[in-house]
Amino acid sequence: MSIKVTSPCPESVVVALGARDWPIWACEVSTFPWTYEQRETCLLLEGAVTVTPNGGDPVSFGAGDLVEFAAGLQCTWVVTQPVRKHYQFG
């Protein structure tokens, strides 16, 4: 699967990954295409998003969820509530 969601992500996993030390990215309500050049793992702090892989089914997630995006994924992001997330590539 090109998008994997752990909802809600247990705090033990957040601590084990060191996710609270990752950089933060924020985005207002918007819609945009995106291509993942490399794998990304993110922990949503706020907001709600639906990501639809090109030719695939929509995947929705929000605050408290850990999300993994596969390298090479082409998709469209629909941010329905402003987002803040920790993220890590690779």
**Domain segments of the chain: what residues?**
3-89
Tokens of 15: 């601590």
Residue 70's pLDDT is what?
97
Residue 71's pLDDT is what?
97
Q: Give the chain's residues under pLDDT 70.
A: 1
Residue 73's pLDDT is what?
97
Amino acid at 40: E
Q: Which residues, in sequence order, are bridge partners of residue 52?
A: 76
pLDDT in tens, 38-56: 999 999 999 999 999 999 9
Instruction: State which fold the 3-89 domain adopts.
Output: Jelly Rolls (2.60.120)
Q: How far is CA 51 from CA 2, 12, 15, 16, 36, in A?
A: 11, 26, 26, 26, 12
Residue 1's pLDDT is what?
64
pTM: 0.94
